[in-house]
Structure 1
Amino acid sequence: MTDKTNIPEDLIPVIVGIGEIVDRPKEITAGLEPLDLLEQALRRAEADAGARLLGEVQSLDVVNFLSWRYRDPEKLLAQRLGITPAHCYYGPVGGESPIRYIHEAAKRIARGECTVAAVCGAEAQSTATKAERAGAKLPWTPFAHDVEEPKRGAAFQKPLAVTLGVFRPVTVYPFYEAASSAHWGQTPREAMAESGTLWSRYSEAAAQNPNAWLKRRYAPDEITTPTADNRLIAWPYNKLMVANPSVNMGGALLLTSLAKARAAGIAEDKLVYPLGGASAEEPRDYLLRDQFYESHPQNAVLKAVMDLAGGDGRKFDAIELYSCFPCVPKMARRTLGLGADVQPTVTGGLTFFGAPLNTYMAHAACAMVRRVREGARLGLLYGQGGFVTKHHALVVSTAPPREALAQDTSVQAEADRNKRAVPEFVTEAGGTGKVESFTVLYGRGGDVEHGVVMLRTQDDRRTLARIPASDRATLAHLLNMDRTPVGSLGEITMAADGVPEWRVV
């Protein structure tokens, strides 16, 4: 890569300012509401840039937040800042959205549609939860009860999935975990060890990040061993292997053109250039996917950004692989051609840094900007949303792009081209069922609630089936650490409540 470019400087987008805030109030009612966190993060980003830019923002993207409900939060924020941006957007739910908004803002600048853009997100879930439990009234902007809550999880899944409890991220991602590790030839014990090692690396990064919620390194065994404080939630995930949304955080980035940055006197060593990226997605109903050992959209997105790095994932000096659950970075690092010694984060991960729901990747982008300013030449930000559903990746660099930022960055056609036939889903089945994937759900006390298997029937249709907590033999088969149950056969019967059940034969 060369620093020379023929693109006009007013059409070269550059990230110039980053701002983060972590709120740990001593009193519940002193906690900052999301709007406060958004505003403070943006003002910190402006201070970081060292130039007065907020008053000139023409493009404002606000990441969806769930800890408090406002009517038109993006307009409320713009009013606080005293601006009327032509593009003023509050987006839908999705963990990939901060990366998408940064990428889209960069494209807007590259098209000459705006000169200064802001992307920000915030959550105050920790304070909101504590206030609800304590019955404390928060002195925040009144909660907008008339605004409909965004549709999530259960709204897009089949009734049988909802009945069996496999409609939330923590109960759906295990299907990918089990299927992918079996596909790679790992025993469950080997897969668990890989998760522990990987998650320990995320915790190491969080321990060094001043903005992290949990600032300590966890050893692999601490992460993978169930205890009273690290309870099993859905096999194979303990509490220390899942996202932690109970945080109060805000993150923001300011982008402008290279011409504007130089005219404003922003130091050259502050400039970080978006080089390009890619996006693709799956159907929201996860049972409409062809299989669960890889993600075609993830593969297409990561291969596209590898092409920006000369076709080699090892060219990235710093990477952030989305980390809601271990299966996501495990699949991603293999697609990128990176080994088990991968350093998967510059931020700390959604378990340890904290998971302000859809906003984590805004903080990851801030951390990546710091890393690039410190000398990393080429950085990769990979965000993901839903149930391995929506994917967006962005490449950033110390050097400006050699070519104008591509405007069509969807690789959906490539993802769809690799998709195989999707089996028909049935809610009633009998005979032999072959395990496609599985999980086991646990109560807060650590007892098994029931197991769930995703099955292929004898005529290759797909169903979900329950394993009652009383069926110890089948549960022991599923939880064998030395042999995956994926691919094993058992008998499907219909229970009295109309739900399929499965037992190993």
Structure 2
Amino acid sequence: MKQTNFPILVGASQYTQTKKVKNRLDPLSLMEKTGNMVIKNSTNKPIREYIDAIFMININSWSYKDAPSELAKRLNLNLKKKVYLPDGGNTPQMLINRAANAIYKNKFKAVLVIGAEAAYSLLLSKKGNKELDWPKRRTPDYMEGEIWDGINDFENKYKFKFPPYTYAVFETAVRASLEHTLEEHEKHMGKLFQHFSEVAANHPYSWSQNAYNANQIISPTTKNRKICHPYMKLMCSNMFVDQSAAVLLTQESLAEKLAIPKENWVYLMGTADFKNIHEITQRPALHTSPACREGSRIALEQAGLKLSDIDAFDLYSCFPSIVEIMMEEIGISESDSRNLTLTGGLPYFGGPWSNYSLHAIATAVDLIHKNPHFTIMVVANGGYNSKQSFGIYGKRPPKIPFNELDLKPIQKRILNNKLDPPLKIANGILTVEGYTIIFNRNQEPKEGIVIGKLDTGRRTLAFIKENQEKLEILAKQELVNKKLRVRYNEKLECNIILFD
């Protein structure tokens, strides 16, 4: 008997509320727009009555008492299930994986996966001191899953909560692993993100339509200021955007019943969701991602494909380091000519908080409609290289059906490599594993953050508290693998790197 409940994506929609729009829609209204668009575009027959679940990506720029239920009312949907999770850049792909699995088990007939942000409108309102004509902010009635901070208190004390600093620390570890000089790696990052910028400039829903060359990306200017070594502003995710995306999943049998043309069917051929060790200070290395390594392997295995069968990728790109880490773990060489982004990435296309990868997935659906031979891998990243979700999209069902792969032993093996907790009060010699120098808005260095191992093998964190002249010098040196003296400062209640 022919299997007819394989999950398929039958439609996708995107909308960008540009800077020129005067009456600015709130996130829920943006989702109403893309929700209606995807329903209308999926089929001429009434699929609306079959949508029995909404899986919504967490909204960061505004909050509602019950956003999924409110959206269901606006779209005239009768739901069996609503899902609203805490934030995380991996959630769009993870929710699609869950929705596909549930459809395969006949739990739902059709699932709307949707998200939106309007952080630019909020910023505009604050700058102009103007009140937005939006619904009143409400605390969400419910949230599935545990609200997850991503780092522990010790890491937070040393400013690891601010993503540019953390990913910049990763970047210096990546640079050392590639054996690049500072100048070589700067050019490497510029070349990598020039390509992303060029893709964004040609994407119809991109927030930025500017194509930047490598030199513009790596050169400090008033508009491209230094954020933290080695990152300029143009290397960092832009969260201040107004964007929404939606995709609609159903199963083959319903698509046939509604006469949705097979050329509009896109299969989720391979999936995986893995976590790295939660605590950054307890990971074996700063420049790797076992979750990405195993996730890409498992997704390809389920799809029955080799890496060479993938025509294009969308690698999560909040900062260069995560792209470089993913390339290494997946096995994509620097000379590979395949696209690493479908949209242009978070600094250029736009980084609408947790919802970015839904735009990549919607773009993948559109690309496969136009190029039926295409097979695309999307990799979504959450936290601080903490959680990764994979989706492989194409025109045929997975080789290994959903639920036939037991991933728990692999996840357990990843988490079992946790190092001992870091030493909070450190005195001795530290070998640097990663670092960053933080700059203020005038591009003057303020302080540094260092992570490394003591001679005992225990990890610790420390600040660099030096004058601007010394910090400028340090920002032009390679500190990774250097041995530095660390002392606990009782007055400041933190570890400090000491220089002779």
Report the TM range for the smaller structure's normalisation. Answer: over 0.9
Q: Pairwise mapping of residues 144-293 of structure 1 onto structure 2 (< 5 A)?
A: 144=138, 155=149, 157-293=151-287
Give the alignment of 1:310-325 within 5 angstroms: 312-325=306-319
What amino acid is aligned across from residue 502 of structure 1 in structure 2? I
Which of 416, 428, 435 is the matching residue for 2:425? Answer: 428
Q: Which residue of 2 aligns with 1:499?
A: 494
Q: Which residue of 2 aligns with 1:452?
A: 449
Moved more, 420-429 or 72-81: 420-429
For residues 86 and 121 of structure 2, the distance between their equivalents in structure 1, rounded to whole angstroms, comes to 23
Say which of 440, 444, 447 aligns to 1:443.
440
Distance across 1 between alignment mates of 2:438 and 2:412: 31
Q: Select between 431-440 and 404-413 the one with higher mean Cα deviation.
A: 404-413
Give the TM-score taking structure 1 as reference length: 0.92
| 1:359, distance to aligned residue in structure 2 (A) | 0.5
Distance 1:124 1:72, change over 3 A: same
Establish whether residue 369 from structure 1 lines up as the match of residue 368 from structure 2: no
1:86 to 80, 83, 96: 80
Q: Does 1:468 align with 2:465?
A: yes
Letter of the structure 2 residue corresponding to residue 8 of structure 1:
Q
Distance 2:438 2:85 in 1: 32
For the residues of structure 2 that align with 1:209 and 1:217, how far apart are their CA atoms?
A: 11
**Cα distance in 2, alignment partners of residues 306 and 404 from structure 1:** 13
2:344 aligned to 337, 345, 348, which one? 348
| Deviation of the 1:417 alpha carbon | 4.4
Amino acid paired to 1:88: K
Partner of 2:43: 50
> Matches of 2:146 and 2:6 in 1, distance apart?
37
**Any idea what SS the aligned residue of 1:119 has?**
strand
Contact 1:297 1:415 (8 Å CA) reproduced = no
* Higher alpha-carbon deviation: 116-125 or 464-473: 464-473
Q: Does 1:19 align with 2:13?
A: yes
Q: Residues 255 and 185 of structure 1: is their aligned pair in 2 closer, same or farther, counting only changes over 3 Å?
A: same
| Deviations 1:380-418, CA, capped at 9 Å, x for gaps | 011011000111001111123344333656466256348
Matched pairs, number: 494
Structure 1 residue matching 2:197: 3-state secondary structure = helix
1:227 Cα offset (Å): 1.1
Counterpart residue type for residue 230 of structure 2: P
Within 1, Cα distance between the matches of 2:268 and 2:446? 47
**Aligned mates of 2:492, 2:92 — CA distance in 1:** 43
Identity of paired residues, percent? Answer: 24
Cα deviation, residue 263, structure 1 = 1.9
Structure 2 equivalent of residue 36 of structure 1: 29
Closer, same or farther in 2 for the Cα pair 1:408/1:134, shift >3 Å?
farther
The answer on 1:401 being equivalent to 2:395 is: no
> In structure 1, what is the Cα distance between the partners aligned to 2:453 and 2:469?
22
Instruction: Label 1:193 to 1:412 Cα distance change in 2 as closer, same or farther (>3 A).
Output: farther
- CA gap 1:366/1:409 in 2 versus in 1, 3 angstroms: farther
Q: Secondary structure at the match of 1:405?
A: coil
In structure 2, C-alpha distance between the alignment counterparts of 1:478 and 1:46, rounded to whole Å = 52
CA distance in 1, matches of 2:178, 2:2: 44
Change beyond 3 A, Cα 1:25–1:234: closer
With over 3 angstroms needed to count, the CA separation of the structure-2 counterparts of 1:184 and 1:25, relative to structure 1, is: closer
Is the CA contact (8 Å cut-off) linking 1:176 and 1:294 kept in structure 2? no
In 2, distance between residues paired with 1:474 and 1:125? 33
> SS at 1:21's partner residue?
strand
Deviation at 1:312, TM superposition (A): 3.1
Q: Residue in 2 aligned with 1:3?
A: none
**Paired amino acid for 2:452:** L
- Does structure 2 retain, via aligned residues, the 8 Å contact 1:118–1:252? yes
- In 1, Cα distance between the equivalents of 2:192 and 2:147? 28
Find the aligned partners of 2:76 and 2:94 in 1 and give their Cα distance: 25
Tell me if the contact between 1:312 and 1:337 (Cα under 8 Å) persists in the aligned partners: no
The answer (yes or no) to whether the contact 1:280–1:412 under 8 Å persists in 2 is no
Task: String of CA shifts for 1:156-182, please: whole Å, max 9, x gaps.
Answer: 534443333222111111122111221
Aligned with 1:101: secondary structure? helix
CA positional deviation for 1:332: 1.2
Q: CA 1:119/1:321 → structure 2, altered by over 3 Å: closer, same or farther?
A: same
1:366–1:301: structure 2 CA closer, same or farther, 3 Å change rule? same
State the partner residue of 1:66: 60
AA aligned opposite 2:42: A
Q: Residue type matched to 1:186 in 2? A: H
**AA of the residue aligned to 1:43:** N
- Deviation per residue, 1:296-334 (Å, 9 max, x gap): 112111222233455632210121101011111111112
Q: Please, which of 486, 489, 492 is the counterpart of residue 483 of structure 2? A: 489
1:96 aligned residue? 90
CA distance in 2 between counterparts of 1:46 and 1:196 reads: 40
- Judged with a 3 Å threshold, the aligned counterparts in structure 2 of structure 1 residues 360 and 412 are, in CA distance, closer, same or farther, namely farther
Secondary structure in 2 aligned to 1:64?
A: coil
Matching residue of 2:379: 382
Q: Which deviates further from its counterpart, 253-262 or 60-69?
A: 253-262
Q: Distance in 1 between matches of 2:324 and 2:349?
A: 19
Counterparts of 2:260 and 2:36 in 1: how far apart (Å)? 16
Gaps of at least 5 residues in structure 1 are 1-5
Q: Is the 8 A contact 1:299 1:415 kept in 2?
A: no
Partner SS, residue 183 of structure 2: helix
Check 1:229–1:494 CA distance in 2 against 1; reply closer, same or farther (3 A cut).
Answer: same
Post-superposition Cα deviations, 1:143-164, rounded to whole Å, max 9, x if no partner, equal 11587999988x5534443333
Secondary structure at the aligned position of 2:410 is classed as: helix
Q: Secondary structure at the match of 1:377?
A: coil
Asked if the contact 1:233–1:443 (Cα under 8 Å) also holds between the matched residues in 2, the reply is yes
User: How much does 1:245 deviate?
Assistant: 0.7
**Compared with structure 1, are the counterparts of its residues 474 and 240 closer, same or farther at alpha carbon in structure 2 (3 Å cutoff)?**
closer
**Deviation, structure 1 residue 474:** 6.5
